[in-house]
């Protein structure tokens, strides 16, 4: 596993999808790998927060939210993404813009899930 700050940084990285060979499990694919990470992080966070002295709620909930946001972004059909990323000249977005678009889902997911858990 990775330290939590590095994991959050990787989830917010717009180049994450360009380096899938380093983190995607071939038998699960991209979405399956994200869902497996989400399930494992969810379970481990529940276990750590139910200890007699639980600490550290913010970072784990941000990671879970970022994983949820990234997964949600992958569930959007490619045709919708192409429409949203088309510029004023009618040209489709490039791979970097697509990566930044997906990173925004991770950022929004992390912020909203953390705010919901902490009741902010």
Burial class, 101, CB count within 10 angstroms (exposed 0-12 / middle 13-18 / buried 19+): middle
Q: Are 8 and 66 in contact (CB under 8 A)?
A: yes
Residues 24 and 89: their CA atoms lie apart, in Å, by 35
Categorize the per-residue pLDDT at 118 as very low, low, confident or very high, splitting at 50, 70 and 90: confident
pLDDT tens digits, 75-110: 999 889 888 888 878 888 888 888 899 999 999 999
Give me the percent of the chain exceeding a pLDDT of 90: 28
Q: In this structure, are residues 73 and 14 in contact, taking their beta carbons and an 8 Å threshold?
A: no
């Amino acid at each position: 596993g990775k330290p939590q700050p590095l994991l959050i940084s990787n989830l917010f990285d717009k180049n994450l999808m360009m380096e899938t060979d380093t983190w995607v499990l071939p038998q699960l694919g991209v979405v399956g790998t994200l869902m497996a990470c989400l399930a494992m992080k969810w379970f481990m966070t529940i276990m750590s927060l139910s200890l007699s002295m639980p600490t550290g709620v913010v970072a784990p909930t941000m990671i879970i939210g970022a994983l949820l946001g990234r997964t949600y972004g992958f569930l959007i059909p490619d045709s919708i993404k192409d429409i949203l990323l088309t510029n004023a000249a009618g040209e489709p977005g490039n791979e970097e813009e697509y990566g930044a678009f997906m990173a925004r889902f991770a950022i929004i997911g992390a912020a909203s899930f953390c705010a919901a858990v902490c009741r902010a």
